[in-house]
Amino acid sequence: ASKTYDGSTSLTGYVTIDTGISGQALTYTGAAANDANVATANKYISAITLANGTGGTATNYALPTLNAANAPVTISAKTVSLSATKTYDGTTDLTGYVTVDTGISGQALTYTGAASNDANVATASKYINAITLANGTGGVATNYALPTLDAAHAAVTINAKTVSLSASKTYDGSTSLTGNVTIDTGISGQALTYTGATASNANVATANKYIS
C-alpha cells in the first residue's frame, strides 16, 4: 500500500493485491496500517479482508503474514498550503504572519525562519522563499512537506504602512504647508518627502485644522 499522509491508518483505496495469476484480481475491505505517520519505520498492512474481484475468488487465496516484509506500507508527506499577509515594516521577516494550512482538521503546524523574497508593497509576485515547518497542536512536521516556494503556492501580501503626519507654521495668509510638514514613517532610517501639502484653513483661531 502507498498513500499520502491523511492522519488516519485507513488504507481504503490504496492497497495493491497481486494474486500472481493472470486475469485473476481480488478486492478487499477493512484495510488499515499499523501506523499513520510518515516517519515511522517498518509500517505494514495490519488488517485486511480479501474479497472476490474480476476473475478472482477470495476463497482461493490466503493472506501473507502481515508484517513489513510481506505487506509494506509507504506513507508520503502531505503538502501544506502557505500564505502570508503583513503590513510593511521594511524587512522580509514573516515571523508571526504566515498561515500554514495542513488540510487536516485538528492538526496545526508552527514554523521558524519565515521570510519573503521582497519587502516592498509594490513588488509583484512576492512569495515565502524561506520557512521551516515545526510541530504544532496535533500536527507532526515530518508528516508534511512544503509546497514549491513561489508566488503561486506561497503568496505574500504586504499592505502599506500608515504614516503619522503633523504640520506647524507661522501664519502667512495661505493654506500652503510646503516645508512645514513632519512625516513619521515609524521605521528607523526611512524618511519620506512630500509635495502639494495644504491645510484645511489658513487662520490661527480656526479649530481642528488638518492637512487636507
Q: What is the pLDDT of residues 109-137, one digit of tens each?
A: 999 999 999 999 999 999 999 999 999 99
Residue 177 near residue 202 (C-beta atoms within 8 A): no
Residue 1 near residue 11 (C-beta atoms within 8 A): yes
In the block, cell 488488517 appears at 47
pLDDT one-digit tens code per residue, 93-112: 999 999 999 999 999 999 99
pLDDT one-digit tens code per residue, 179-206: 999 999 999 999 999 999 999 999 999 9
In the block, cell 502481515 appears at 66
Residue 105 near residue 124 (C-beta atoms within 8 A): no
Q: Rounded to whole angstroms, how far apart are CA atoms 97 and 3?
A: 31
